A and B are shown apart, each in its own frame.
Chain A
Amino acid sequence: MALPPHRVDYLPMADRPKISWPDEAKVALWIAPNIEHYEYLPPRDPRRNPWPRSPHPEVQGYSQRDYGNRVGFWRMLEVLDEYEVRCTASTNLAVFEHYPDIGKAMTDRGWEIMSHGIYNTRYLSSLTEEEEREFYVDCVDTLRRHTGQDLKGMLGPAVSNTVLTPDLMAEAGLIYHADWLHDDQPIPIKVDGGPLVSVPYSIELNDVPVFLHHHDTQEFVEMVKAQFDTLYEEGGTSGRVMALALHPYLMGMPHRIQGLEEILDYLLGHDGVWQTTASEIAEHFIEHHYEEFVDHAEVISAVRDAS
């Protein structure tokens, strides 16, 4: 943001360099199932209680999410396979250790694995700088050990962060951070080292906030279609990013899965959609547009110096 800590320069959508996606696509679409494990008895964190409903264990909340790994994931997988979706799986990396079947299903399909931390019940917000540095080493090593993939990006575990997170991510060799909901395009983040860019994720086009409030499947389907229609129209001028965030414990339920089919039918039924992964969006942006964006931000901020 333009205000302290000045991680991001102000760059108004109304005055920006044009983004060109491969094959002149209008929308870069990344689909992010969140593959998570919430601990039965998580370590106590004084700043954030993962299970506030009752003293631990909280078996109802735990089981609701566990359902995703036992049932929901596999139902979602059938639909994702049918539409040949290249997912960017936002993964608590301990899933590879607890549930090798899920790990194998993801790697067999060539999904990109984005770090979502180790467990969804262990938050960055309580770590010291040195602990957070070790956390990235663990994430990079764990992913490489189980998949051979280089870790490219992260959505903080349960979207937790520290002030230093972007610097430490860049230091560990990551190139994108998905916790920034500030834009419809990738944006350079100022870090020691780098480059690091934001690849816009969504907490709006996201089954958790939608279904944990009082909305139903059809409202979610309509939201996703409307989001796409707007970005697709605007993407004719300059490329846009659309993220679809899913959780098997919600979207993989029997009464919701048809909504996912309807969504994929609609999104992938359009020409000019680059169905890709978060790291491919980041890499394309860094290679082709990063410098232009940084330079243009200087032009925009010169208004401040003049005023």
Chain B
Amino acid sequence: MPAERSPGMDHSHYPYSPLPARSPLIWPSRKPLAIGALVLLEHYEWDPPADAYSLRNSSGGLIKLPAPDYVQLTHREYGHRVGVFRLLDTLERHGIPVTVAVDKLTAVHYPWLIDHLMQRGCELVGHGVAASQLITSKLSEEAEAEIITDCLDTLEKLSGSRPSGWFSPEGVESSRTPELLAAAGVNYVCDWPNDEQPYKMTTPVGDLVSLPLFLEVDDEFALWHRRASLASWEGMIVGAATRLHMDGQTSARHMMLTLRPWLTGQPFRIRSLDRALSQVMQLEGVWAAQGNDIVSAFGES
């Protein structure tokens, strides 16, 4: 529906809230900045269902090739086979507990990996069925609800606990998604990169917390779509964290890094992340946390 020209948002998911007008956000031990990492395990199907929607400019591979596009499919598969372990090792070395968004097909076809993530203490968040089956307004409400519960049920069955967080495949939602997530018992959603603090979303069936990711330093956004140099990306991460740490002295901030194993997990990229985190973690009083911890602390602040 087109916007009506009146104060506030042109949708009902959350009210407008200018950051300076909010009461100060306080993290545990009054730390100014929470740092989190959302690692994405996304599966691109070899042969997606005919009616499924995927991004026109989906990343990986070379140019868009006629199917079967071995280049794109195997480039992405690299993350599940090799890259994810480099990311986990690097994040753990810097003391950052990892949050991992896992789609249903990854969970079903890589059960070894799910066990491994649980053994390493990762928090899993729901991530749809596959990166080649996006949640869009073209789906019926029933089909969308089915994707959400199918993913959550599968992750619960294979990991032993039901995810409380959600990140839609490729960050694509329908206008119904927040309500359907709340109805499915999801506590927080990462689809809206519009803030430096978590905030409350409201739906007819209950509240939800929005935990914004930091889109500008998202590896795909910066390194793939914008083709930033690695040195530039490293500088963006450190520069953003440094400023958020300063601004967080008056009202705390969070910074969720979005990392793809097939992209930042490549041998030549992992070193840039490693260097950036070395600097970020030297900032006084950084709180490294999982999505769920940040959202809980937001609820208690």
Q: Which of B65, B70, B80, B105 contacts A180 (CB 8 A)?
A: B70
A307→B110 contact, CB < 8 A: no
Q: Are A156 and B267 in contact (CB under 8 A)?
A: no
> Hey, which chain A residues are within 8 Å of B65, CB to CB?
48, 125, 159-160
Query: A14 to B116, Cβ gap below 8 A?
Result: yes
Instruction: Flag if A47 contacts B268 (CB, 8 Å).
Output: no
Question: What are the residues of chain A within 8 A of B80 when measuring CB–CB?
Answer: 2, 10, 12
Please judge, given known A-B contacts A205-B268, A227-B266, whether A181 and B81 are in contact too, CB under 8 Å. Answer: no
The answer on a CB contact under 8 Å between A223 and B230 is yes
Chain B residues with Cβ below 8 Å from A184 are 82, 267
A255 within 8 A of B: no
- Asked if B204 is at the interface of the complex by the 8 Å CB criterion, the answer is no
Q: What per-residue 1/0 map shows which CB atoms of B215-232 lie under 8 Å from chain A?
A: 000000000000101110
Q: Contact at A182–B46, with CB atoms within 8 Å?
A: no
B74 engages A179 (CB within 8 Å): yes
Interface residue A246 (Cβ < 8 Å from any Cβ of B): no
Instruction: List the B side residues contacting A304 at CB < 8 Å.
Output: 109, 111-112
A186: min CB distance to chain B, Å:
12
Taken together as a complex, chains A and B put the C-alpha atoms of A160 and B71 apart, in Å, by 9
Contact with B along A47-69 (1 / 0, CB 8 A): 11000000000000000000000
Flag A202-219 by CB within 8 Å of B: 1 or 0 each: 011100110001110001
Contact: A13 with B266, CB < 8 Å?
Answer: no
Q: Is B66 in the interface zone, CB < 8 Å from A?
A: yes
Residue among B45, B78, B105, B231 with max Cβ neighbours from chain A (10 Å): B78
* Interchain CB contact under 8 A, A215 and B229: yes
Q: Decide: A209 near B62, CB < 8 A? Known: A10-B112, A182-B78.
A: yes
Q: Which of A5, A11, A307 contacts B46 (CB 8 A)?
A: A5
**Which residues of the partner chain B approach A205 to less than 8 Å between Cβ atoms?**
268
User: What is the total number of residues of chain B having a CB less than 8 Å from a CB of chain A?
Assistant: 42
B77/A12 in contact, CB under 8 A = no
Given A209-B62, A219-B229, A230-B270: A1 and B73 within 8 A (CB)? yes
Q: Which of A269-304 contact B (CB under 8 A)?
A: 300-301, 303-304
Interfacial chain A residues near B115, Cβ < 8 Å: 303
Chain B positions within 8 Å of A301 at CB level: 112
Q: Beyond A48-B66, A179-B70, A222-B230, is A1–B77 a contact (Cβ under 8 Å)?
A: yes
Q: A214-B227, A215-B227 known; A163 and B111 CB under 8 Å?
A: no
Contact indicator A182/B77 (Cβ below 8 Å): yes
User: How far, in angstroms, from A163 to B70 measured CA to CA in the complex?
Assistant: 9
Q: CA A150 – CA B43 in complex, angstroms?
A: 37
Closest to A226 in B: B268
- The 0/1 profile, CB within 8 Å of A marked 1, for residues 75-109 of chain B is 10110111001100000000000000000010001
- A185 and chain B: residue at smallest CB distance: B82
Instruction: Please give, as numbers and ranges, the residues of chain A lying within 8 Å of B45 by CB-CB distance.
Output: 3-4
Contact residues in B for A204 (Cβ distance below 8 Å):
266, 268
* Interface presence of A224 (CB below 8 A): yes
Contact A203 B158 (CB under 8 A): no
A214 to B43, CA, bound (A): 28
Rounded to whole Å, the gap between the CB of A166 and the closest CB of chain B is 10
Is the CB–CB distance between B268 and A11 below 8 Å?
no
B24 interface residue (CB < 8 Å to A): no
Name the distance in Å between B187's Cβ and chain A's nearest Cβ: 26
| Distance A4 CA – B47 CA, assembled complex (angstroms) | 8
B271 on interface, CB distance cutoff 8 Å: yes
Residue of B at shortest CB range from A4? B46
Interface string of B35-68 (1 = CB under 8 A from A): 0000000010111000000000000011001111
In-complex Cβ contact of A203 among B66, B71, B73, B267 (8 A):
B71
CB pair B82–A13 under 8 Å, yes or no, is yes
Measured in the bound complex, the distance between the Cα atoms of B65 and A126 in whole Å is: 11
CA distance A231 to B70 in the complex (A): 23
Q: A10-B112, A159-B65, A160-B65 are in contact. Are A227 and B70 (CB under 8 A)?
A: no
Residues in A neighbouring B272, C-beta threshold 8 A: 226
Chain A residues with Cβ below 8 Å from B46 are 1, 3-5
| Residues in A whose Cβ lies below 8 Å from that of B66 | 47-48, 123, 125-126, 160
A10 and B75 in contact, given A203-B62, A227-B268, A303-B115 (Cβ under 8 angstroms) = no
Q: Which residues of A contact B201 (CB under 8 A)?
A: none
Residue contact B74 to A181, C-beta cutoff 8 Å: yes
The verdict on B113 contacting chain A, using a C-beta distance below 8 Å, is: yes
Decide: B270 and A161 in contact? CB cutoff 8 A.
no
Task: Please name all residues of chain A whose beta carbon is closer than 8 Å to the beta carbon of B109 when the two chains form the complex.
Answer: 2-3, 10, 304
Given A2-B110, A3-B105, check contact A13 B71 (CB 8 Å): no
Closest 3 CB pairs of A and B: A230-B267, A227-B268, A226-B268
Instruction: Give B contacts to A, CB under 8 Å.
Output: 43, 45-47, 61-62, 65-68, 70-71, 73-75, 77-78, 80-82, 85-86, 105, 109-113, 115-116, 158, 227, 229-231, 266-272
5 A-B contacts (beta carbon < 8 Å):
A184-B82, A224-B268, A226-B272, A303-B111, A307-B111
Give the interface of A toward B (CB within 8 A).
Answer: 1-5, 10-15, 47-48, 123, 125-126, 156, 159-163, 179-184, 203-205, 208-209, 213-215, 219, 222-224, 226-231, 234, 300-301, 303-304, 307
Told that A3-B105, A123-B66, A162-B68 touch, could you supply 15 new A-B pairs with CB distance under 8 A?
A3-B109, A11-B81, A12-B113, A14-B116, A161-B70, A182-B81, A203-B71, A203-B75, A205-B268, A222-B230, A226-B268, A227-B268, A229-B267, A230-B86, A304-B112
